[in-house]
Chains A and B, each alone.
Chain A
Amino acid sequence: MGMFSTFHIAGSALSAQSMRLNAVASNLANADSVVGADGKPYRAKQVVFEATPINGESGQGVRVKQIVEDASPGRMSYDPRNPAADDKGYVTMPNVSVVDEMVNMISASRSYQTNAEVMNTAKQLLLKTLTLGQ
């Protein structure tokens, strides 16, 4: 339906980017969580994006296909006084890379801004169309 699906496309990107920001927040908050709900160290979560058609129109929206857990090994930190330490005194820390997550956060917030701007432009164009002939 013409220009209205621009809103759907940009809206789908907004919700996908906010999910990515959510995952970043979870990873940063748990960067030092040695024990999770399952008794193991927290594993970093990453969202996977996928292009998806929006009700048969030519533009493509985006959606979160799945949320994967980072399989890389956790950081080992020497802390023999920690109750979670192994017999050599090492504690397995979460595999969250704080630097990567900060980069991810900046990228997600920039993409969010861009798509919000796309929505604004589409709104302006629709309003201009409404004043057609006046």
Chain B
Amino acid sequence: MASKIDNALSFQQQVLGLRAQRQQILAGNIANADTPNYKARDFDFSAALKEAVAGRSSGNLALSTTDAAHLPGSTQQSSARLLYRNPAQPSADGNTVEMDIERAQFSENAVQYEASVAFITAQIKLLTAAVQA
């Protein structure tokens, strides 16, 4: 039964993990807006989420099972493949951070993160209602 509850929440858990990682990367881009030769990074969110759900995220390490009684498992840390942003207006010092794009993506990512938290809360409420009914 515990695994059913886990299944209900695991998708949003993956989403939250990737959103948090993306938030970090975008914060790094904004922090380095004045660093010469810094190249802005990001990742393809939907592709990363698909990989994470399928459990073949590039950073995942599966537990090796050497006995029939061993339980399968893998590290939960989802890590996405980082790409470089294509700048529309690169600056003369080799920096490719465009503040308007980064700010827009950062705000969007923050709202999506909050939405994910709201979805999890709603799911937990649903499960609680089912338990108490």
A binds B: yes
Instruction: Given A49-B32, A132-B117, decide whether A58 and B27 contact each other with a Cβ distance below 8 A.
Output: no
A128 sits at the interface (CB 8 A): yes
Is A9 a contact partner of B114 (Cβ separation < 8 A)?
no
Q: Which of A35-43, A69-77, A84-92, A114-122 contacts B (4 or more CB under 8 A)?
A: A114-122
**A2, CB-defined interface residue at 8 Å:** yes
B28 A61 Cβ-Cβ under 8 A: yes
Q: B77 to chain A: closest CB distance in Å?
A: 10
Assess the B124–A133 pair: CB atoms within 8 A: yes
Contact A3–B20 (Cβ < 8 Å): yes
Instruction: Verify A51–B110 contact, CB threshold 8 A.
Output: no
Closest chain B CB from A120 CB (angstroms): 10
| Contact in complex: A121, B30 (CB < 8 Å) | no
Known: A59-B27, A61-B28, A133-B121. A111 touches B35 (CB 8 A): no
Q: A124 touching B110 by the CB < 8 A rule?
A: yes
Q: Does A66 contact B (CB under 8 A)?
A: no
Instruction: Give the Cβ gap from A3 to chain B, nearest Cβ, in Å.
Output: 5
CB neighbours (8 Å) of A114 from chain B are: 30, 33, 99, 103
Q: Are A125 and B110 in contact (CB under 8 A)?
A: yes
Give the chain B neighbours of A124 by CB distance below 8 A. 110
For the residues of A in contact with B, the DSSP-based class is helix
Least CB distance from B115 to A in Å reads: 10
Contacts of B113 in A (CB 8 A): 125, 128
Which positions 42-76 of chain A face chain B at CB distance < 8 Å?
48-51, 54, 57-62
**Is B21 at the interface (CB under 8 A from chain A)?**
yes
B30 touches A6 (CB 8 A): no
Decide yes or no whether B11 CB sits under 8 A from chain A: no
Residues of chain A within 8 A (CB-CB) of B21 are 58
**CB distance A128 to B24 under 8 Å?**
no
The distance in angstroms between the C-alpha atoms of A133 and B82, with both chains bound, is 32
Q: Is A18 an interface residue (CB 8 A)?
A: no
Instruction: Select one of B16, B23, B31 contacting A13, CB under 8 A.
Output: B31
Q: Which residues of A contact B110 (CB under 8 A)?
A: 121, 124-125
Chain A nearest CB: distance from B119 CB in Å? 11
A residues with a Cβ closer than 8 A to B are: 2-3, 5-6, 9-10, 12-13, 16-17, 20, 48-51, 54, 57-62, 107-108, 111, 114-115, 118, 121-122, 124-125, 128-129, 131-134
What 8 new A-B contacts, CB under 8 Å, besides A10-B27, A62-B31? A9-B24, A49-B32, A51-B28, A60-B31, A118-B31, A125-B20, A128-B117, A133-B124
